[in-house]
Structure 1
Amino acid sequence: MMKTIAEKIRLLRLEKGFSQENVADMLGISTTAYGDIERGKTDLTLSRLQSIAHVFSTSLRHLMGEEDVITSQIQQLELEKLKMENEKLRLENQLLKEKLAGRIIVDLLRERTQVPAERQRIGF
């Protein structure tokens, strides 16, 4: 579920351990005005969003959820990469098993076709 900007702002405030009054003071607005921001009752300007991001020491992208999308895309790409590497290893493992099986068969055939040492002696 995607969080709204208002929800993100509230969560950031709680993570930082700030009260609504603290943040309102840092932004230079009333506590009521800040509470309206967290409740999603206020349309935020870009400059207000930048101020809020600054107060929480975060990026505007993070505040707006863009980093979440980018992070999700990166995780998806990493998952696909791991799946491809896993498939490559599975195929290499299968190839090695087939080579080993072939060597075992060749070795068994050699053992069966070799003449025992006592039979090799030709003597009178």
Structure 2
Amino acid sequence: MSTTGYAKIERGQTNVSVEKLKQIAQVFNVNVAQLLDDDERFVICSIGDNHSNYSNYFGANEKLAIENEKLKELLAAKDNEIEALKKVISLLENKE
């Protein structure tokens, strides 16, 4: 990586991929999260294999909290649906 390229990253003039962050962290012998550590905590999740099939997710605590609440609501709805289906199955079994 050129010094100009690295300087652009430091100044926020360019976006950096997760792979590039991993390389920078390795050079400085730090964890990737330490490179992002400012006043907010960040979470990085890279999902996929070692090829081109991957997705990167970045988020601050507030955004992740909102996403977690949505997921909790979906899980609660799923649990309610399972209970309703169990009741239907029970009624059908008792009918026979």
Q: Could you say whether these structures have the same fold, taking a TM-score greater than 0.5 normalized by the shorter chain as the test?
A: no
TM range, smaller chain: 0.3 to 0.5
Q: Which has the higher strand share?
A: 2
User: Which structure would you say has the larger RCO, counting Cα contacts within 8 Å and 6 or more residues apart?
Assistant: 1
| TM-score computed with the length of structure 2 as normaliser | 0.41
